[in-house]
Structure 1
Amino acid sequence: MAALPAVLIEAFSGGPFGGNGAAVVALEAPMPDEWMQAVAASLRQSETAFLLESKQGWMLRWFTPVCEVPLCGHATLAALLALAHWRRLGPGDRTWLHSRSGPLEVELPASRPGWGTIVLPSGELQPEPAAAGLTDLLLDRLGFGPEGCWSSALGYWVVLLPREAPLASMEGLAPALEGPLRQGLVLMQGLDPSAGGPQIGGEPADYQLRFFAPGLGIPEDPVTGSAHALVAPWWQRHLGRPLVRGWQCSDRPGGMVCEAVSSAMIRLTGSGHLLWDGTLRTASAGWPAAPQRGGARDGAPWTERWTVWRTATRLPCSTASAATPS
C-alpha cells in the first residue's frame, strides 16, 4: 500500500473555512487516469491536483469529482503552496508547472509568506445575446437583467450585472441552468471602492463575481481562478489600469490580485490556508502497476500524455450527474 503526501489547501483565502478547497497529491510515478479520477471522487473537493516530478519539471493535472479539466486556477495556486509546504520550493522561487493547458509560470513572492502567484491563460470574450431564458431568470432572482453577455473559448458564459443587483445574497442558480450555461456561468458586477466592501491584501476589490458550473459537477465554485483570469482583462480595459482586484462573493468568499502579463496571460496573486496535511493510502489491487521512479516515466510518451489534452480519454463532464462535491 503506497503512502503519498497529500494536503488540503483553501486557496484564495487568508484563513480557515474560506476560499476554494483543493486537495493536492504528490505522486511518485504516473498513475492511471481512472485511479486519479477515483481519488478525486473520494476526496470530494471541487478539484484535486496531482503533481509529478519529471526531467522537464513538475507536471500537473486537475480532476473534479466527476471528470478531468484542462485548467484550474485555484488548484494551481494550491499546488504551488503545497510545494512550498513540502519545501520543494522556497520564498522567491519561480518555476513552471507543465499542464494540458501548457506550461504555467508560478512564483512564491519573497515578501509575502503564504501567498503565491500563478500565470494563467485568459481568453477573448465574444459578445452574445443573452441565452434563452437567462434574462427572465435573472429578473426573477435579482430584479435586474444583464447589462452585457459574452461567450468564451473556455466554454464559460459571462454576464455583467449592474452594481445595484444583490448578487452576493442571491440563492444558487445551478438547478435552473440549462444547455451551455451548465458548463460555466459567470455573473459579475463592479464595486464601489469607497463603499467599505471586501478587501484583498488590504486594498478594496474592484469587482465581484459568482460562478456556477453544474455540468462540471460544481453547483457553485467558491473562488475560481480561471473565471477571474477570463474577465480581468475586461475590467482592466473598463477601469483603464493594468491591475485590478477581484472578489468572489460565494458562501466561502475569497479574492485575488489580477495583473496583465500579455494579451493572452494574466498573473493572479492570492493567499492560501493549509487546512490539513497527511498521506494518501490506496491499495494497488485492481489498478494497473505504475512505472517506478527512474523508469519509463521520464520518456516522451509519458510526458506527452500528461501535457497534451486528449478529448477522447476525458470523462464527459456534461453528462456526469453523480459525485458532486459537498
Structure 2
Amino acid sequence: MKLELYQVDAFSSRLFGGNPAAVVPLFEWLSDDLLSGIAQENNLSETAFFVKRGEYYELRWFTPCGEVDLCGHATLAAAHVLFEQLGYQDQCIVFATRSGRLFVDRDQGCVLSMDFPSWPAKPFQVTERVQRALGARPDELYFYQDFMAVFESEEQIRTLSPDMERIAELDGLSMIVTAPSEEYDFVSRVFAPSVGIPEDPVTGSAHCTLVPYWADRLNKSELRAYQVSKRGGELLCRHMGDRVKIAGPAVLYLKGTIYLEHEESCHT
C-alpha cells in the first residue's frame, strides 16, 4: 500500500517558518494503530488525515502520542493541500471533526481563513504549582481545556523558561502563555509536553481561547496575533461570538510517498 504524504509549513509564507504539519489523504480510514504509527514516524507535532465523504471531508489529527480533538495548523495545512495540490475548486472546505464541523475559506492570495469554535476560559487561582511549572508568576490564570497564563509584557513571554516535567503534570493538554504587544495586539507561546510537544511553534487551536479573552480585554473584534516561538507565526483573528476566525498563509515543503508493506522480504 502506498499513501501520498505532504508536509506544509502553516501560518507562514516562507519555508522553515510557522508550524510544520504532515498531511496524508486517504480513500478510507486505516486502523487507529496504523494512523498513530504514521504520526510517530513523521515525528511532527501533528499529522492530519482526511477522507472525502460527499460534500465534506472527515478530518483527524494525531500527535506522536495519540489523537487530539482539535488542531489549527494541521487543519490549515490540510486545506492548503486540497486547494493547491489536489485541485479543490469551491471557495470553502467543510471538515467534519471531533470538534464539530470546521470551515476553511480561500482568502486573498495564499491566506486561508478557518472558522473554529470559541472557547472562552474562566478565571482560575494562580497556585504555587502553576508558578513553579512556569518559573514565573502570571498576573492572571484561566482554564478551559487548557491553562492560559496572562503576563504583563511580551518580554516576559519571550524569556519564559518553564519546567516541562511540571507543565506535563498540570491538568489540560497544554499551557498557553500570553501578553500584550506593541507591534501586535497580543503574543503567545504554547507548551504541551504531555502530548510529546515541549513547545508548539504556532498553535491555531489555542486561539480559540486567546481570541475571546483579548477581544474582550481590548474591546475589538479584529486582532493581529504573533506566536513568539523560534519559528514564529502571525495569525489574523476575528471574534464572532461563539465562533472565531483564524487566518494565515501556508507553504508546501515536501511531497512524498509512504510505503506500507504487510510483509517484507530480503533476498541476498
**Fold-level match, TM-score > 0.5?**
yes
Where 1:212 maps in the other structure, the secondary structure is: strand
Aligned to 1:196: none
Number of aligned residue pairs: 264
CA contact (8 A) 1:210 1:250 kept: yes
For residues 163 and 75 of structure 2, the distance between their equivalents in structure 1, rounded to whole angstroms, comes to 26
Q: Is the 8 A contact 1:172 1:220 kept in 2?
A: no
Please tell me whether the aligned partners of residues 168 and 193 of structure 2 are also in contact (alpha carbons under 8 angstroms): no
Residue 249 (structure 2) aligned to one of 267, 271, 274:
271
Q: How far off its partner does 1:273 sit? A: 1.6
SS in 2 for 1:237: helix
C-alpha contact (below 8 Å) 1:182/1:214 kept by paired residues = no
Q: Indicate conservation of the 8 Å contact 1:174/1:214, yes or no.
A: yes
Cα distance in 2 for residues equivalent to 1:99 and 1:178: 26
1:281 aligns with 2:259: yes
Does the 8 Å CA contact 2:202/2:227 hold for their aligned counterparts?
A: yes
Quote the residue 2:60 is aligned against: 61
Structure 2 CA distance for aligned equivalents of residues 8 and 28 of structure 1: 19
Task: Give the TM-score normalised by structure 2.
Answer: 0.92
TM-score, length basis structure 1: 0.76
Going from structure 1 to structure 2, the CA distance change for 1:182 and 1:58 (only over 3 Å counts) comes to closer
List runs of 5+ in structure 1 lacking aligned partners: 194-204, 287-326
Shift of 1:136: 4.5
Q: What SS does the corresponding residue of 1:166 show, helix, strand or coil?
A: helix
Equivalent in the alignment of 1:134: 130
User: SS in structure 2 opposite 1:17?
Assistant: coil
Tell me: CA distance 1:285–1:66, structure 2 relative to 1, closer, same or farther (3 Å). Answer: farther
Percent identity of paired positions between Structure 1 and Structure 2? 30
What value does the CA root-mean-square deviation take over the aligned residues?
1.9
| Residue matched to 2:9 | 10
Question: Contact 1:173 / 1:212 at 8 angstroms: preserved in 2?
Answer: no
* Alpha-carbon distance between aligned partners in 2 of 1:164 and 1:48, rounded to the nearest angstrom: 30
Q: Which amino acid aligns with 2:236?
A: V
Question: 1:165 Cα deviation (Å)?
Answer: 4.2
> Which letter maps to 1:104?
L
1: distance between equivalents of 2:253 and 2:148? 31
Q: Given the alignment of the two structures, is residue 235 of structure 1 paired with residue 214 of structure 2, yes or no?
A: yes
2:103 to 101, 105, 117: 105
Q: Which has the higher strand share?
A: 2
Deviations 1:8-55 (A, max 9, x none): 001111211111110000112221111100000000010000011122
1:224 pairs with 2:220: no
Partner residue in 1 for 2:238: 259
Distance 1:182 1:126 in 2: 14
One-letter code of the match for 1:96?
Answer: V
Closer, same or farther in 2 for the Cα pair 1:104/1:137, shift >3 Å? closer
Which residues of structure 2 form unaligned runs of 5+?
Answer: none
Q: Is the 8 A contact 1:174 1:182 kept in 2?
A: no
